[in-house]
Chain A
Amino acid sequence: MLRRRLAASVILALCAALLASCWDRSEMNELALVSMVGMDRDPDSGKITVYMQVINPASGTSAQGAPAGEQAPVYTYKVSSDSFAETQFTFYKLMPRKMFLHHAKAVIISERFAKQGLREFINFTELMPDARSSVPLLVAEGPVGKVMHTFTPLERNPAESVTSRLELLYEMAMMSGRRIEVRDVIERSAKGEIAVLPMIAPTARRGDPNSWELNAEIDANANQLKISGGAVIRDYRMIGRLTDDELVLHNLLDGGKGRFVRRYPFRDGHIAVNMKNRRAKKKLEWRNGKPFVRVRIRVDISTVGMSEFHPQTIGEIRELEEHVNRSLAGELEDFVDRTRGKGWDLLRIGGMLRRKAPDLPDPDRAAEEAEVGIEIESRLTGMGNMSRLYDETGGTR
């Protein structure tokens, strides 16, 4: 009996060797870890160019320090072809390791490609089992090749640098949203709604610095990448742009929960107000048979950063809050009117009608006719490090 059991366990143990996936094994040392993907399509010839930025495994901390021995943190491979499928495999003319896409942190597409439409690319990437769609999608201003061939200071891996900045821009400036990933473009386009993607551009160039030279350069503005502006995407196609200023307002309306600053005329000067979005709610109401979208936004304001004015009395606090309410609401109304005038339904009223009133015969028309009311409720909750500002010597306040 014991011998039989022993034999059985040996056989089972041998079977385990077969389970170790001999066909699909992937050794860390045999993988090319793609960190950023770039794409462009020539509108005339239709030729697709794909860039793959691959992490250089040798550029760890050990390679730093010795200037002559420093290696590039990433390598960019480029391939052109008539279809995405062809580019996928022609990379191996150049790349000595198996492409590993799962850790890709960002996808960058050229503006002209975005204007031609991204549906083909999106179908291609969703079909690929090893590509995730939860990656930020950015639109490059100018040639995408330049973006893919630019090192970034401080954060040496450009993809990390980009994603980290997107996060900071969302939390600290609301100039980036939460819905900027490939999957968001898919979902919103499929629903007939608008998505806004961040835009990226290389900054002014001096020479063609390599990674080491860039790290030795003090001017961090030159020779790197800058994230600024928003690309408006509808039906998988870029149809316009938003400025940074408009981007903040858009993200506020879209329910972003970050901090931001607005500057308004106040009393006899100006005032810059730090705000944090607490809640943004859209509600559909009906007035005279027409849809009315009521947007209610609650923001917290803080005396931090408000170096021009510090309220002292209840009256002054209310004055400040009401001033902010009026100014922000006015700005948002202007923004909504302006973009709706261009035919951009950034508030996604069409989608809202399709969801809340699915029996409506022509939701798109109703969305165009819909009225929008914006209400802001600001509350002074944050406090800076002072209870009174330093006055001008001999000043009156």
Chain B
Amino acid sequence: MISRTQFYLLTVNYTLGTTLFVTINAMIGEAGTDAWMMPLWAGLFGMIAALLWIALLKSSPGRSPVEIALEAWGPAGAIIGILYLAVFCLTAAWALRNLSDFMNETIMPNTPPTMFHVMFLLVAGYAVAQGSETVGRLNAVVTPFLAVPFWISLTLATAVWDWERLEPAFRDPWAIFRFPVLLGFPFLETFSLTMLYPKVRSGAAGALVLGVASAALSISLVVFMTLGLLGPERAARINYPIYTIVQEVELGQAFVNIHSVLTVILITLIFIKLMVLLYAAFETIGQLFRPASRWPHLLALAILLSSAAVAIYENPIQNRIMDEAYTFIFISFYAVLIPVLLLLSGWLRRTAAGRSRSRRG
């Protein structure tokens, strides 16, 4: 069992995870100086989606969506469970690949990507095998070491801040509708946290909604700072604007390499996302197949994920194209459509049961 605070921190870090890598420049490319408003709208949408999942989870307390599906639909529910397993695996592989892309493009161009994948999977797998307490506690312990240096390094960069870069303001507040990817990713992706939801002692619902809201605010603030520090022209073109901002920070003559600090923060955030996804996949396997052993199937999962991470796309350009074309539909299918169907079937069954009871009575 984990605490409400741990669940909240997991939600925030999970949502920030790959978002800080992949969508910042796309957002600014789409909405220019008003890009900082996009994560706010998307976050609002994410909160509504979180309320939907909470309604589903509350309808059957203590059970995960996979168990709810099994209970509601029997064998068809098992298919849903396998589908969720595939989704969690795919998302985990995706996060891994985003990580190795970042490392290869910035400070470690020669290291084979598989090396990153395998090492991260080993550590994440170890944490997951220890159970939800370890996952929650590990994240709670590292969070201050991520948040404090992250905001300090961005603050150090504010020497080059220029308000002119944020003008003209409020020209395009509805850009989010031209760029629906952001509605799906990252906020709908937080669906994987529902696998951890039953493990929270109490107050999980508030923690989830608040976590999504905090993450949306953080992303919005990061985009705002990126605009003020790099300007929309550069920020829309550079692959990892936050990295570039910190790369260009100079503290006197000696400290010109503080971006390595930022690299560690960003990859740790991705690690947390990976850990949650791995946990979700691991739990799904446990609930679907009830394996007798505790961890050997984690090893199989790690092998699967490390190869999927290499095969998922050939280059980040494909990643962007895939993101823009399919992500929203893909995520909506499993994070909105299936939960709605589950809720509906549960409601129908309850009303049917209620009716038969009243008829009998």
Q: Which residues of A contact B (CB under 8 A)?
A: 12, 15, 18-19, 21-24, 102-103, 126, 129, 132-134, 183, 186-187, 190-191, 351, 354-356, 358
- Some 23 contacts from A to B, beta carbons below 8 A apart, are A15-B119, A15-B123, A18-B115, A18-B119, A21-B111, A22-B111, A23-B111, A24-B109, A24-B110, A24-B111, A102-B257, A126-B234, A129-B106, A133-B244, A134-B247, A134-B248, A187-B165, A187-B233, A351-B164, A355-B168, A356-B167, A356-B168, A358-B171
Report the nearest A residue to B243, measured CB to CB: A129
Contact call A191/B111, Cβ cutoff below 8 A: no
Task: Check B248–A133 contact: CB distance below 8 A.
Answer: yes
Bound-state CA distance A186–B171 (Å) is 24
Q: A134-B248, A355-B164 are in contact. Are A23 and B108 (CB under 8 A)?
A: yes
Question: Are the C-beta atoms of B168 and A24 separated by less than 8 Å?
Answer: no
Which residues of chain A have C-beta atoms less than 8 A from B108's C-beta?
21, 23-24
A102-B233 CB under 8 A given contacts A23-B110, A24-B109: no
A194 to chain B, nearest CB (A): 14
Cα separation A66 to B168 with both chains bound (whole Å): 61
Indicate if B324 sits at the interface (CB-CB under 8 A).
Answer: no
Task: Tell me which residues across on chain B come within 8 A of A12, comparing CB atoms.
Answer: 126
Query: Given A18-B115, A102-B257: A183 and B107 within 8 A (CB)?
Result: no
**A129 to B106, alpha carbons, bound, how many Å?**
5
Q: Which residues of A contact B248 (CB under 8 A)?
A: 132-134, 183
A126 touches B238 (CB 8 A): yes
Interface of chain B: mostly helix, strand, loop or mixed: loop
Residues of B within 8 A of A (CB): 105-112, 115, 119, 122-123, 126, 164-165, 167-168, 171, 231, 233-234, 237-238, 244, 247-248, 250, 256-257
On whether the beta carbons of B167 and A129 are closer than 8 Å, the reply is: no
The 3 A-B residue pairs with the shortest CB-CB distance, nearest first, are: A190-B233, A134-B248, A355-B167
Cα(A358)–Cα(B107), bound, Å: 40
Q: Which of chain B's residues has its CB closest to A129's CB?
A: B106
| Cβ–Cβ contact A24 & B107, under 8 A | yes
| A335 to B129 Cα, complex, angstroms | 72
Enumerate chain B residues within 8 angstroms of A191, measured Cβ to Cβ. Answer: 231, 233
Contact B256 A103 (CB under 8 A): yes
B237 touches A126 (CB 8 A): yes
How many contacts A-B (CB < 8 Å)? 60
Distance of A11 Cα from B110 Cα, bound (Å): 25
Asked whether B109 lies within 8 Å of A15 as measured between CB atoms, the reply is no
B300 to chain A, nearest CB (A): 19
Cβ–Cβ contact A19 & B119, under 8 A: yes
Across-interface contacts of B165 in A (CB, < 8 A): 187
Beyond A129-B106, A133-B248, list 6 extra A-B contacts (CB 8 Å).
Answer: A12-B126, A23-B110, A24-B108, A133-B244, A134-B250, A355-B168
Task: Report A-chain residues with C-beta under 8 Å of the C-beta of B110.
Answer: 23-24
Residues of B within 8 A of A133 (CB): 244, 248
Residues from chain B with a CB closer than 8 A to the CB of A22 are 111
With beta carbons under 8 angstroms apart, the residue of A23, A129, A134, A354 that contacts B112 is A23
Complex Cα–Cα for A388 and B237 (A) = 60
User: How far apart sit A132 and B243, CA to CA, in the bound complex (Å)?
Assistant: 11
Complex formed: what's the CA distance from A113 to B119 in Å? 47
Q: How far is the CA of A191 from the CA of B119 in the complex (A)?
A: 44
- Complex Cα gap A23–B112 (Å): 8
Residues in chain A near residue B164, CB distance under 8 A: 351, 355
For the complex, what is the distance from the CA of A129 to the CA of B112, rounded to whole Å?
Answer: 17
A135 closest partner in B (C-beta): B248
A129 in contact with B168 (CB, 8 Å) = no
Asked if residues A354 and B237 are in contact (CB atoms below 8 Å), the reply is: no
Nearest A residue to B108, CB-CB? A24
Q: How far is A26 from B109 in the complex, measured between Cα atoms in Å?
A: 12
Assess A186 versus B233: contact at CB under 8 Å? Given A19-B119, A24-B109, A356-B168: yes
Contact status A129-B105, CB under 8 Å: yes
Please give me the residue from chain A that is nearest to B171 by CB atom.
Answer: A358
Q: Which residues of A contact B247 (CB under 8 A)?
A: 132, 134
Contacts of B231 in A (CB 8 A): 187, 190-191
Q: Is the CB of B111 within 8 A of A358?
A: no
Q: How far is the CB of A171 from chain B (nearest CB, A)?
A: 15
- What residues of B have a CB within 8 angstroms of the CB of A21 in the complex? 108, 111
Residues in B with CB closer than 8 Å to A23 are 108, 110-112, 115
Task: Output the least CB separation between A89 and chain B (Å).
Answer: 14
CA distance A14 to B292 in the complex (A): 29
Smallest CB–CB gap between B197 and chain A, Å?
30
Q: Which residue of the partner chain B has the closest CB to A182? A: B248
Q: By the criterion CB–CB under 8 Å, are B233 and A354 in contact?
A: no
Which residues of A are found within 8 Å of B238, using beta-carbon distances?
126
